[in-house]
Each structure stands twice: as C-alpha cells, then as structure tokens.
Structure 1
Amino acid sequence: MKTKWLIKSTGRELFNTEGVMNVTLRDIASKLQRSYGNITYYYGTKEVLINELFDDMHQELNELQEISRDQNLLSYLLKLPEVSFEITRKYVFFTVDHNELKRNFPLFFTRMNELHNNRKAQWLGILNRLLAEGYLKSDLSEGDLQYIMFLSGCVRTAYFQLMDAAAYDQRDYLQTVNALLKPYLSKQGLGLYKLYLNSEL
C-alpha cells in the first residue's frame, strides 16, 4: 500500500505543477526511481490514476463537510470555503486542467460531471432551506438561487485558474467567495454573516 500511496502522491504533485497532459506514467516512475512496470502494476493507465485521485479528493471533501455540519446552516455554508480550500489546492489540477481533462478523458469527465451535478443539487437544497428559514431575501426565485450557485462556482473555479499557485491565500479566498452571498441575505442572514466575519478576524 505504501507504493500505491507514493504513486498517487507523486502523480498528484506532478499533475499540479506540470499540468495533467504534460505528465506520463513514465515521468512518475522516473520521479520515484521505480520501473515503469512497477507503476503500471498498480495503475495501468493515467486515467485510472486520475480516477482514483478524484475519488480521494471527494472522500476528503465529504469527511470535512460532515465535520462542519454540526452548526447553524448559514454558518455551515460560510465555513465550507475555508475547510475545502486546502483540499482544492491539494488537487488543483482538477480545476486548472478542466478543459484538458474534458478533451482527453471523456469517460472520466462524464463521471466527474455527474458527481458535480449531484453536489449542485445538494447546494440548491441548502439555498432553498436558507430561504425557507429566513436567511435569504424572501423575494428570491428559484432562478435567483440557481444564479447564486452558478456565480459561486464560477468564482471558485476562476480563483484557482487565474491566480498563480504561489499567491493562493485561504483568507482571501474565503472572503471572496462569501462576499458573493451578502447581497442576497435577509436582515437575519446579514446579522449572522457579520457575526461570522467578526469571529474570523
């Protein structure tokens, strides 16, 4: 299992720094000073390795999100960018190399999209609950909630795609993502939002 972990860890680091399409299994073997056959024994193709890294990322995200659930729903939503930041950065090639993955690994990309669509449905459910509980402005429509979700996703993606990796900053990311929600919060929601910001200072 140690060998498999080393392959995944090294592959992830190389994908992040060099780009997923610029790294081969032979590159990973060379980096580890192992034979190519030793790598393909565990991962017959690069796509198999990518799929397993994707599973690892989602497992880590799910575990962190479960830890964060034991609090007010709006506080939970505001906390998520903070707890997910390090994991997104750890597997940043999934965000940065989105188009390359789509073009070169269509089966994997279909699977990735399915999981992302499931997450979108979960987020929409959370936004609807926030609306029902009075944390969002009462005149927001279903289309407005979908727009909030779309805008948040775009900003999260753009942050990692456009920023240099050395400039990634958790606090800046947290404030950028959460500021998107502020215009849509009710008076009750704004009160909790301000309390959350003060707790982060």
Structure 2
Amino acid sequence: MKEKIKKTAISIFNTNGIANVSMKQVADILKISAGNLRYHYKTKETLLAVIYSDMYAETLDYILPENTYITLFHFEEMMLKFDDLQQRYCFFFNDIVHIIKTYPEIAKQYEKSNIVRFKDARKLIDYYIETERIVPENDFINYNKTIYNIWMTSTFWQSQKLAINTASYTVNKCRSIEMLWSILLPYLTTKGLEEYKQLRKFVKLPAN
C-alpha cells in the first residue's frame, strides 16, 4: 500500500503541484480514509521525504567510474539521466523554492546532496583537464562557477519552460542537454572538440 500511495501522490503532485494537493485529496483519489493514509504517512512532509529519498537513491550512480578512461559521453549520460529524473518528478523541480521554504529538513538534505554533487562534478572537470579535453583553469576561468551554472540550468530547466512558454521564442525549445553543452563547449580544447564531434557523429542529441 505504501508504494501505491507514493506513486499516486507523485502523479497528483506532478499534475497539480505539491502546494495545491492535500493529503485528503490523495486519500480520496486512492479511495481510502484519511486515517488509513496517515497510518502509512503521517504528514505530507513524511510522504515527500520518502519520495525525495527515492530520488536521491537514483542519483547515486552519477559518479565517476573507476579504472577506466572517461569520455565526454559520461557527462552527457549523467545529464540525460538527471533530465529523465526531472520529468518523472517534475513537481519537485517546479516547486523547489516552495519545498525549500516549507520543508526545512528536506531542504537540508537537498543542499547537502548538492554540495556532494558539486565536488563530484569538480573531479570530473579536473579529470577532463588532466586528459587535455578541457582547457586549464586560469584568471578568467573558474570551473566551480561553471559547475554552478550547469547545476542552475539543469535544476531549473523544467520550471523555466513554464515561465517562458511563448511559441515564437525557440531558444529554450530543446532538451536541457543541448543547453548544458552550450555552457561547456567553449572550454573544450582541440582534442576535446574532436571527441565531441565524434560523439555527435555516433550519438545524436535527443529530440524534445
């Protein structure tokens, strides 16, 4: 029953937004009593915490593989997995500011996990520098800021599409990976650009 409640809640949250859904509504759609729902999840925060725990568990494989040569496709693969996660849990990313303000414990967990991700991303960037696919950091290039820009773009990709939805404006009518590459491409070396060209030759960017 717990799993059914969770899946139903995610679907309703995705459709209506977490702020617009009460636990009673979740119970009504499941055709169970509010007391039955509270038996499994006492509050909406309890339910959201379990959903977030599942989301975080899915991201644990977004790490550097060991003892192997890591291509630029690893970056793309990680970002595509995150894009898929965002689409399946779109309510979380559309309502992220509300969630952070309303549920402080979840906000702490989310911040902590992102700090870990920033460190992992820096390791990947440093590896690409060492293998001469990305230019070294200098007085004009700060890769910690580049990583943060990539995080902001990927995290708020879903919500920005809601904010800028004009049909004639086409800049954001693409998958997030295309926008993320536009951030990273200027930093690629000649070797890195050649690898990227080979990547695009054999792996096409996904359609909207």
TM-score bracket for this pair, using the shorter chain length: 0.7 to 0.9
**Matching residue's letter, 2:148:** F
| Corresponding residue number in structure 2 for 1:179 | 182
TM-score scaled by length of structure 2: 0.84
Mark the runs of 5 or more structure 2 residues left unpaired by the alignment: none
Q: How much has 1:26 moved relative to structure 2?
A: 0.9
Q: CA distance change for structure 1 residues 68 and 53 in 2, over 3 Å: closer, same or farther?
A: farther
Unaligned runs of 5+ in 1: none
Work out the CA distance in 1 between the residues paired with 2:59 and 2:120: 14
Deviation at 1:67, TM superposition (A): 10
State how far apart, in whole Å, the 2-side matches of 1:151 and 1:184 are.
Answer: 14
Which residue in the other structure is 1:22 paired with?
A: 20
What's the offset of the Cα at 1:72?
A: 2.2
Give the count of matched residue pairs: 197
Task: Decide whether aligned partners of structure 1 residues 30 and 68 sit closer, same or farther in structure 2, where only a CA change above 3 A counts.
Answer: farther
Q: Which residue of 1 aligns with 2:152?
A: 154
How far the C-alpha of 1:78 sits from its partner, in A, is: 2.1
Tell me by how many angstroms 1:150 deviates: 1.2
% identical equivalent positions: 21
Q: Structure 2: how far apart are the matches of 1:132 and 1:67?
A: 15
Listed as ranges, the matches of 1:1-201 within 5 Å are 3-63=1-61, 65=62, 72-140=70-138, 144-164=142-162, 172-201=175-204
User: How far apart in 1 are the matches of 2:42 and 2:84?
Assistant: 29
Contact 1:82 1:174 in 2 (8 A): yes
Alpha-carbon distance in structure 2 between the residues aligned to 1:12 and 1:77: 28
User: Partners of 1:54 and 1:170 in 2: how far apart?
Assistant: 28
Shift of 1:157: 2.5
CA deviations 1:24-66 (Å, max 9, x no partner) are 1111101111111111111111111111111111212224x36
* Deviation of 1:142 (Å): 9.9
Q: State the distance in 2 between where 1:38 and 1:178 align.
A: 47
Q: Which has the higher helix share?
A: 1
Specify the SS of the correspondent of 2:83: helix
Contact 1:68 1:80 in 2 (8 A): no
TM (norm. structure 1) is 0.87
Query: What is the alpha-carbon distance in structure 1 between the residues aligned to residue 178 and residue 150 of structure 2?
Result: 12
- What letter corresponds to residue 132 of structure 2 in structure 1? G
Note the aligned Cα RMSD (angstroms). 2.7
* CA distance in 2 between partners of 1:158 and 1:198 (Å): 29
The structural deviation recorded for 1:139 is 4.4
